[in-house]
Structure 1
Amino acid sequence: MLVTSGAARPLAPPIEPADSPQVCSSLPGTEALAESAPRFVIVGEIHGTDQVPRLFGDIACVVARRRSVIVALEFDERSDEDVAHFLASPGDDAAVSRLLRSDIWARDMADGRSSIAMLTLLRRLRDWRAAGRVVEVHGTQPRVSGRLDQHYYELAMADRWASLADTHPNSVVLILVGSLHARLVRQPGMMFAPAASHLLPTDVVSLQSEPATGSAWNCQQDGCAPHPLAGKGTHKPAYIRVLPTITDGFNGVFSVGTSLTASAPAIETVGAR
């Protein structure tokens, strides 16, 4: 049962209407990406920030103005029914309450994939789906036993992405995933081939972040909490740029324009079981 502490309040922070420029920013480079987007567009993230899910939502909003969009998130693949129910709902407190009872938000390790920023992203996607802009949203984190090498986990994740493209051949598959899985090539020292490396390179734009400062909510030896990021230097204005060649495992780069801030788990921020 979901409960909230203190005075009665909405289960999730209110957001602007889907068409508001405040939540559908067309960053430099986004329109060009929407025009020429290949079969897959991947945003590699550090889990647990406020800014990257918002930037991903902005990309989805702009691309969906021009193209049919399928969104793939790093949720358990068995979460699809719960997500689909929420997307078809009015998006009110009752719908949010039901969604938060899904196993998505009850992770033993709250590493950012279950953050308040991800809940806000789903609310935005619900609005755009209601407007006919986003076709479907799917979880693409494979359910595996863990008895096999990481290579097979990555292969299973890539297979989920490919299956979405196969069943929606006229859509762009927009993927938000940890940057480790988003690399297009196996880097020196890596013990496995990343998920994105199993896709045809000409079918993919995979974006990595400029070196980030600030903090992210993730799980380390001292537990799951906000942790500082190691990035240094000045912040470039927010942008997206596709590169002519693969550099450091990616063929695109983005900046959110600010320091990153940690986004706490939605189940702790919005309510508790």
Structure 2
Amino acid sequence: MIATLLAAALASPSACTPVPGVEALWKNEIRYVVVGEMHGTTETPAAFADLVCAARDKGPVTVALEFSESMQSMLDAFMAAETEQAARAILAAYPHGPFVHHDGRGSVAVLDLLLRLREMQRETPSLKVVAFAPDSPRVQGFNQSYSELDMGHRLATAARKAPDSRMLVLVGNIHAQKKTIESFNLTPAVVHLPSAEVVSLYTVPQGGTAWNCRGEACGANPLPETYDAAARGVVIQPYGNGAFDGVLALGPTTASEPAKP
């Protein structure tokens, strides 16, 4: 009987897998923990879910995902659905977004992340999940930096709505940088947040693959090995000439294909 209960607990979608070095993220002054990823891997959404799982023990949590803000009502319904089948149906019926127009943010791994967050919210009702990518249209003469400004504003707005919460953010690695990217004349979203309240982690390439599109060809593409492939966990040490406060090392990655919710 005890073995059966233990097996059920280990199989729970919300069960935490410890992330080495994670305690460095829970300092009182840190309001935003930002994970900058290369979309389309299996490992990063899974590790992000483990970070959220661990953060719940430290206080209220708001999870911010790089989904269009227009998806919020659908996301709320997904989280509130009575069954997993109903939640999947709600997502499958939504006619727009990354689960229809695939760019790595609508992967099997991201669907698994959403399902885990849904289970966590049942255990921890204070957990909030928000979509923060702006729907604001591009205007001629206004470059990507204006979209980044909108994104930063939406993160700050979500934080103000839950002032006692720590915010965990999963976003593409360009948006997560804490310095202007001079070569692109780009001011990333995280630059607009109070730097002392942000820990931004770069999910370092350690080899493997990611699902993305290059030109008109989409599929599993190789990633470089620019960081020690044996390293694992959170390492707080400036990276990328100060663009990031540290790294999240997950080892060689595997591509995660587009989900069919």
Q: TM-score normalized by structure 1?
A: 0.85
Pairing 1:261–2:254 present = yes
Give the drift of 1:16: 2.8
Give the Cα separation in 2 of the matches to 1:149 and 1:128: 38
The alpha-carbon deviation at position 219 of structure 1 amounts to 1.7
- 1:25 corresponds in structure 2 to 17
Q: Distance in 1 between matches of 2:41 and 2:27?
A: 28
Question: Are the equivalent residues in 2 in contact too, given 1:242–1:252 (CA < 8 A)?
Answer: yes
**Structure 1 residue 142, shift from structure 2 partner:** 0.7
- Inter-partner Cα distance in structure 2 for 1:82 and 1:195: 24
Q: Work out the CA distance in 2 between the residues paired with 1:29 and 1:37.
A: 18
Residue 86 of structure 1 aligns with an amino acid whose one-letter code is: F
Look up the match of 2:215: 221
Which secondary structure state, in structure 2, belongs to the residue aligned with residue 261 of structure 1? coil
Q: Partner residue of 1:236?
A: 230
**How many residue pairs align between the two structures?**
249
| Residue 37 (structure 2) aligns with | 45
Does the alignment pair 1:167 with 2:164?
no
1:233 deviates by 6.2
Structural mapping, 1:62-77, within 5 Å: 62-77=54-69
Distance 1:41-1:133 versus aligned 2 partners, 3 A rule: farther
Does 1:128 find its partner at 2:120? yes
Per-residue CA deviations over 1:1-23 (Å, capped at 9, x if unaligned) read xxxxxxxxxxxxxx931453xxx
Q: What residue in structure 1 maps to residue 78 of structure 2?
A: 86
Could you tell which deviates more after superposition, 84-93 or 121-130?
84-93
Distance 1:183 1:244 in 2: 11
> 2: CA distance between counterparts of 1:78 and 1:233?
37
Distance 2:231 2:125 in 1: 27
The RMSD of aligned alpha carbons is 2.0
Asked if the contact 1:183–1:197 (Cα under 8 Å) also holds between the matched residues in 2, the reply is yes
Q: Which moved more, 1:244-253 or 1:62-71?
A: 244-253
What's the CA shift string for 1:199-248, capped at 9, x where partnerless?
A: 11101000002233111111211332221112256512421022368844
Q: Which residue among 87, 98, 123 is the counterpart of 1:95? A: 87
Structure 1 residues 180 and 19: CA distance shift in structure 2, 3 A:
closer
Q: Give the distance between the partners of 2:248 and 2:161, measured in 1 at CA.
A: 29
Alignment of 1:113-152 (within 5 A): 113-132=105-124, 135-147=127-139, 148-152=142-146
C-alpha offsets along residues 91-116 of structure 1, whole Å, 9 cap, x if unaligned? 421221221222234443x1110111
The alpha-carbon distance between structure 1 residues 221 and 248, as it changes in their structure 2 partners (threshold 3 A), is farther
Choose from 136, 148, 160 the match for 1:154: 148
- Return the offset for 1:77: 0.5
List gaps (5 residues or longer) in structure 1. Answer: 1-14
The whole-number CA distance in structure 2 between the counterparts of 1:73 and 1:82 is 13
Q: Which moved more, 1:242-251 or 1:110-119?
A: 242-251
**C-alpha displacement at 1:73, in angstroms?**
0.4
Q: Which residue of 1 aligns with 2:5?
A: none
| Alpha carbons 1:111, 1:224 under 8 Å: kept | no
What SS does structure 2 have at the residue aligned with 1:189?
helix
- In the alignment, structure 1 residue 204 sits paired with structure 2 residue 190: no
Cα displacement string for residues 20-58 of structure 1 (whole angstroms, at most 9, x for unaligned residues) = 3xxx11211113323546111100000000000011100
